[in-house]
Structures are given as structure tokens and as C-alpha cells.
Amino acid sequence: MYKNNMKIEFTTVSDNERFARTVAAAFVLELDPTIDQISEIKTAVSEAVTNAIIHGYDGGEGIVTMEGSICDDTIEFAISDSGVGIPDIRRAREPLFTGKPEMERSGMGFTIMETFMDSVDVESEVGKGTRITMSKRLK
């Protein structure tokens, strides 16, 4: 069984969304993914990080943690924040729902994550933060 793990933390600067995408792509390269798989993983990670930056801290400063693990042919990423939390996870996962309509958000973040990854788990507690864990089998 092959295993590898990584963990990084970065501030809620919007440019760090691009940084997270790059880290995710570099981390999965050892599994020899297809271009489509890399693109899907980068997009899912980007959506989770964007949610943490925009919604997690409600525009304020904070830290986003990104963890990655590989076990055999499966990649898992967990994106977490210690922000405001999600009051209604079921509703937040509905297509087109957005907690920031004034920012012209599409409300498709969770739908995109669920489309590109094999599983998406959301844990959140109001006032304590959110953790999104996503996995995808690559072979």
C-alpha cells in the first residue's frame, strides 16, 4: 500500500485560490492522472477554497488549511476554516443556493465539487468553522 500526506495553511487572500489549485495538481502528479482528472481536482479544490475565503470568514481575515492524502490510487483533499460555519448544510448544497447573492455568486460550488469528485463530505458548526473532505479514485 502506497501512502503520502501533506498539509498547508494560507491566509484568506483571494490569490491563494490559485496557489491551492497549483499545490493540488502537483500533489496528485505522482499518481499519473489524466489532464481531465487534474483539471477536475483543481476545480473542486478551488471551489472549496473559494468557499472558505468568501463565506468562511465573511470577508475578514483568517486561515484556510488544506490537507491532502494519497492511499494507493485514491486522492483525498480536506479544506477547512475556523470561520462562521454553515447554518444549514443541506440547503447550502442545493444547486444555485448562495449565501452571498449581493456578490453575484452562482451557488454552484458544492454541485461542482460533487460532479468532479467521487465523494464530498461537509462538516460545519456555526461559529466554529467548516471542513470539506473530497476524494477521487484515479485508476
CA distances, 62 to each of 3, 52, 129 (Å): 30, 9, 11
The whole-angstrom separation of Cα 126 and Cα 139 is 37
Contacts of 28 (CB under 8 A, 6+ apart): 37, 38, 41, 70, 75, 138
Nearest CA to 42 among 136, 105, 128, 122? 136
Q: Decide if 54 contacts 103 (C-beta within 8 A).
A: yes
Q: Which of 17, 40, 47, 76 is catalytic?
A: 47
The active-site residue, picked from 67, 93, 105, 123, is: 105
**Phi, psi dihedrals of residue 63, rounded to the nearest 5°:** -120, 135
Is 105 among the residues known to form the active site?
Answer: yes
Q: Which of 17, 40, 51, 131 is catalytic?
A: 51
Whether 51 is catalytic is yes
Report DSSP state, residue 103. G
Let me know if 16 is a catalytic residue. Answer: no
- Residues taking part in catalysis: 47, 51, 105
